[in-house]
Chain A
Amino acid sequence: MAKIIVDGVEVDVPVEYTLLQAAEAAGAEIPRFCYHERLSIAGNCRMCLVEVKGAPKPVASCAWGVRDCRPGPNGEPPEISTKSPTVKKAREGVMEFLLINHPLDCPICDQGGQCDLQDQAMAYGVDTSRYHENKRAVADKYLGPLVRTSMNRCIHCTRCVRFTAEVAGVPDLGALWRGEDMEITSYLERALGSELQANVADLCPVGALTHKPESFHFRPWELTKTDSVDVMDAVGSAIRVDSRGREVMRILPRVNEAVNEEWITDKTRQIVDGLRLQRLDRPFVRENGRLRPATWQEAFATIASRVKGTDPKRVGAIVGDLAAVEEMYALKLLMESLGVTNIDARQDGSLLSPVYGRGSYIFNSTIAGIEDADAILTVGSNPRIEASLVNVRIRKRWRMAPPPIGMIGEHADLTYPYDYLGAGPETLAELAAGRHSFIEKLRAAERPLVIVGQGALSRPDGLAVLSAAAQLARDVGAVKDGWNGFSVLQTAASRVGALDLGLVPGEWGLNAQTMAQGEVDVLFNLGADEIDIAPGAFVIYQGTHGDRGAHRADVILPAATYTEKSGTYVNTEGRVQLANRAAFAPGEAREDWAILRALSDVLGHRLPFDSLNALRAKLYSHYPHFAAIDTIQPADGFAAIQALANIGGTLGREAFASPVKDFYLTNPIARASGVMAECSALARSLKLEAAE
């Protein structure tokens, strides 16, 4: 720790702090454009100038360390001034230079109202220009379907270049030419090839990079902001949903150090148009092979007539990937009251189950804990497409000091180098038996991390693979006091919550695959669109989009998406998070728990709650950990890993394959989105190009 005086306030800060950080610790605000706390320091905008006592000129505080400051003549702490007239004048000079070539097009610029340059020009700008020469003009660049460019506005902070190179790990952007002619572009103006590319537009302090799909649609001050969580993958990124009237206009990341830092994937962000396209806005009933619009009463009556005459053993329920804990709980209670044990939330055929303990299906190390791991092995997972922000953490860990990283599964570009160990279970068996050289690296590690993905578990021998991975983790000491390095990476936002609720087949119950193959007569489908249901059964689909599930349905109950209801989601770490309602569901669509409550009344098994609060009170009394929002209930790692290791079983021979075939089209909302379709097509063409 070092003492430093900022504007007369003495603060004690770590020596590795920069002056900018020290000033913030002292409560002084420093304007900046190029500096970003999650990117490397560039020091090229010069806006953060401060005066250091004893230095002949103002210094860039973002690039000047506290340890670089000299003490005063009598050993006084170094002193800096952030508000002196010299500093103000220096910053005004910098601002004048920045504005020399910046166009005055704020009225037509999408960044207006959320622009760093605009805000700081209010503080440091001058009202006239002394510049009589020609302004520079730069051709706009094509950077793909998500980022619109207006390069005249660029002030060359290089945040976008640093983000793509450092965080996204896809060095697509660069600064060509030099001096006044410098231009930010991708190589030959190719589209950016990252699943995190839209973050560059968030980072851009001016309007040079803006979001293409939402450009010219709104002004930021027109929007109502709602804090929420993302459900596109099981990471549960913190997001802010901005809506205008009934319509969600955009989704932005929120800072959550434990989960997504401040990045979100393109799927999370640009799914917005999918929220209004192909929506189910009224109930439908199938008559003579065709779906026709119906009233809620008709729909409920149709369901009641079918359910009442059916043996509970021939009734089943499948829960999809986007369901919140509330409706799953309501469905569970309804099915229990009907005497149904055929209930399953694992439409992908995964064999994870709560019987082995909570530690057997959550990401025990936590996402932030990846930074502490000193050897990483992924089994049957491509974290880059299954949980991009987990991959970002692993990359962050790799950038700190490369740990040994091993991978068993499909070859993939994970943006960092890794040891490719093998494709399938036989490599895992070899490793567990200690016949593979990588085992030494895992054994040598203090905090080894074994990540098991759904690609290894959603297969007939899934349990055996899980058991083998658990044995391996136990043998290399991945589970010990203060460290649990056995982590299961989920891909569905609803999955951990469903497993917490015990939404797996009860005694003699059928699993999702069996139910879908026609072993039941009445199937209640709560938003499961990734499973093919064989003809025969009477299917009740409660969901949001006219996707696969709705096409196969006999009765459609229109429901609300995650932005249209207040719902609890549990991410892959087991972290309970609350999504808030930002808009209302379209037409006659209702919140899911309310639909189930109304249906239960018609079926004669009225659920014991009349409001969301009553439902939650009941839920919390059964499952108290759901009440602890934003925290993780720690799982008993030793018991879970022991239970898993004891399962045993025979490993198959088939290679692991990631369950996510197309990153951009993993759920009904994404499949309804035109932007996602464009991204998907582009990603496929890039892949073809790369394969050539």
Chain B
Amino acid sequence: MAVRKLAPENMQPGSFVLSPETEAFADKEIAKYPPGRQASAVIALLTKAQEQAGGWLPRKAIEAVAAKLDMPDIRVMEVATFYTMFNLEPVGKYFIQFCGTTPCVLRGAGDIKRVLERRIGDQNHVTPDGTFSWLEVECLGACSNAPMVQINDDYYEDLTTENFETLLDDLAAGRPVHVGSQIGRNRSEPFEGVNTLLDPALYDGSVVGAWRKRFEEQAKAETGEAAAAVASVPQDGKAAKPPSGRATETDAADTPAKRAKEGERPISHTDQKEAADPSKATKVEPKEAGAQPAPQSGKSYVATPKKEGEAVPASPTTPEAGKPPSKAKGRRDGSESKPGVTVDKDNKSS
């Protein structure tokens, strides 16, 4: 976690008054809680105050929220300092939250970070014109479109150094920008075109119950055990949980199949033909004759020698059979950094 601190005194505004809009919002939030529990609205109010103050929380804003909620200043300060979403130092007009978690890094977030460092400078540092500042944050949950950043309230995904530079240029120049994927992808759909779940039958209701129907047909043909098995299956499907009172089935407003029907994207002819085969609910490729499953091992990872007879180099910590781990050669016990200290590994003396 980045080191956070309060903004220095010379950056703090002299006063902060909740705007009428914030006040109205605050009253609405406070009304959600029972009387006397108005402190529950503190996060909502801090968020709104941060919005009003230009993306960060000056000390006076924290005090204003505390006064509004009749809380001690320190209690509000505790909340404001706990959550990293509250900025305690000024941010740029465009506050970039750059995702630096594994999926984004695997998809090239390092390059995006270098762009940020080159164009804006260090984290928590506002450019002299006040336009940009950035902060590395943990996963923002748009991993399928990695790498991505959040700028103020919006996500910008599928970044490359080129389109990110363009994005920053556009923002700096005040030109309109496209929110979301920067390569024209719709949400998190496959960017080269839809290629799964294309069968229109999946969406017209015709496959509902198809599996059972086929199973019953097969059972009819056979007798004995299989028929008994079918008989034991409860005929009236019973919900696993009582109905919640909401509609359980809704029309998907925007599905790939619907768009496909509207002719928006072409679906390959072979796919269509296969999907239209009513005898199959799912398509199963016939297995190649003689294909063997890989040999199973109890271990999740087994180092495989590249050549016959070539031994795997043993790691210093690899346990050797018949030897307690504490006797292992590579085990560190702190004595390495203290010459002349012998460590009683077995703790025999005590």
Contacts and interface: CB of A to CB of B under 8 A. Distances in A.
Interface stretch (A166-174, A258-266, A558-566, A577-585): A166-174
A497 to B, nearest CB: 41
Interface string B166-207: 000000000000000000000000000000000000000000
A184 B334 CA distance: 32
Interface in A422-446: none
Contact of B72 (A129, A176, A187): A187
B40 interface: no
A130 B74 contact: no
Nearest to B337: A132
A398 to B, nearest CB: 14
A179 B77 CA distance: 16
Contacts of A508: none
Contact of A174 (B4, B77, B334): B77
B1 interface: yes
A186 B74 contact: yes
Contacts of B301: none
Contact of A187 (B3, B73, B333): B73
A130 B337 CA distance: 11
A177 B59 CA distance: 15
Nearest to A127: B350
Contacts of B334: 128-130, 132
Contact of B74 (A128, A129, A174): A174
The size bracket of the interface on A is: 10 to 19
Contacts of A175: 78
B163 interface: no
Interface in B71-115: 72-75, 77-78, 81-82
Contact of A128 (B4, B73, B343): B343
Contacts, number: 38
Contacts of B75: 171, 174
Nearest to B71: A171
A280 B1 CA distance: 61
Interface in A172-211: 172-179, 181, 186-188
B24 to A, nearest CB: 27
Contacts of B74: 171-174, 186-187
Contacts of A173: 74
Interface string B42-77: 000000000000000001000000000000111101
Contacts of A172: 72, 74
Contacts of A128: 333-334, 343
Nearest to B78: A174
Contacts of A174: 72, 74-75, 77-78
B3 to A, nearest CB: 8
A188 B75 CA distance: 12
Interface string A335-367: 000000000000000000000000000000000
Nearest to B3: A181
Contacts of A178: 81-82
A188 B63 CA distance: 12
Contacts of B3: 181
Interface string B322-350: 00000000000110010000010000000
Contacts of A176: 77-78, 81-82
A93 B343 CA distance: 20
Given A128-B334, A129-B334, A130-B334, A177 B72 contact: no
A181 B333 CA distance: 28
Interface string A243-254: 000000000000
B179 to A, nearest CB: 31
A560 to B, nearest CB: 44
Contact of A171 (B4, B59, B72, B333): B72
Contacts of B343: 128
Interface in B206-242: none
> B interface, by DSSP: helix, strand, loop or mixed?
helix
Nearest to A176: B81
Contacts of A188: 59
A130 B343 CA distance: 12
Given A130-B334, A171-B72, A179 B1 contact: yes
A187 B77 contact: yes
A179 to B, nearest CB: 7
A181 B72 contact: no
Contacts of A179: 1
B1 A181 contact: yes
Contacts of B337: 132
A300 B81 CA distance: 68
A177 B82 contact: yes
A128 B73 CA distance: 42
A100 to B, nearest CB: 13
Nearest to A174: B74
Interface in B125-157: none
B34 to A, nearest CB: 15
Contacts of A130: 334
A175 B77 CA distance: 9
Nearest to B81: A176
Contacts of A129: 334
A7 B3 CA distance: 46
A173 B74 CA distance: 7
Nearest to B336: A132
A175 B75 CA distance: 9
A392 to B, nearest CB: 19
B46 to A, nearest CB: 14
A186 B82 CA distance: 15
Q: Which of A132, A171, A176, A179 is packed against the most chain B CB atoms within 10 Å?
A: A176
B218 to A, nearest CB: 45
A128 B343 CA distance: 9
A177 B86 CA distance: 11
A162 to B, nearest CB: 13
Interface in B24-49: none
A179 B74 CA distance: 18
A173 B78 CA distance: 10
Contacts of B73: 187
Q: Which of B59, B78, B334 is packed against the most chain A CB atoms within 10 Å?
A: B78
B177 to A, nearest CB: 34
Interface string A110-150: 00000000000000000011101000000000000000000
A281 to B, nearest CB: 46
A186 B78 CA distance: 10
A187 B77 CA distance: 8
Interface string A36-75: 0000000000000000000000000000000000000000
A452 to B, nearest CB: 31
Contact of B81 (A132, A171, A177, A186): A177
Contacts of B78: 174-176
A128 B342 CA distance: 12
Nearest to B74: A174
A178 B2 CA distance: 12
Contacts of B81: 176-178
Nearest to B83: A178
A174 B72 CA distance: 10
A179 B2 CA distance: 12
A178 B82 CA distance: 5
B308 to A, nearest CB: 41
A142 to B, nearest CB: 15
Given A128-B343, A177-B81, A187-B74, 17 more contacts: A128-B333, A132-B334, A171-B72, A171-B75, A172-B74, A173-B74, A174-B77, A176-B77, A176-B81, A177-B4, A178-B81, A179-B1, A181-B1, A181-B3, A187-B72, A187-B73, A188-B59
12 contacts: A128-B333, A132-B337, A171-B72, A173-B74, A174-B72, A174-B75, A174-B77, A175-B78, A176-B77, A178-B81, A178-B82, A181-B3
Interface of B: 1, 3-4, 59, 72-75, 77-78, 81-82, 333-334, 337, 343
Interface of A: 128-130, 132, 171-179, 181, 186-188
Q: 9 closest Cβ contacts across the A-B interface?
A: A174-B74, A171-B72, A187-B74, A176-B81, A187-B73, A174-B78, A178-B82, A177-B81, A128-B334
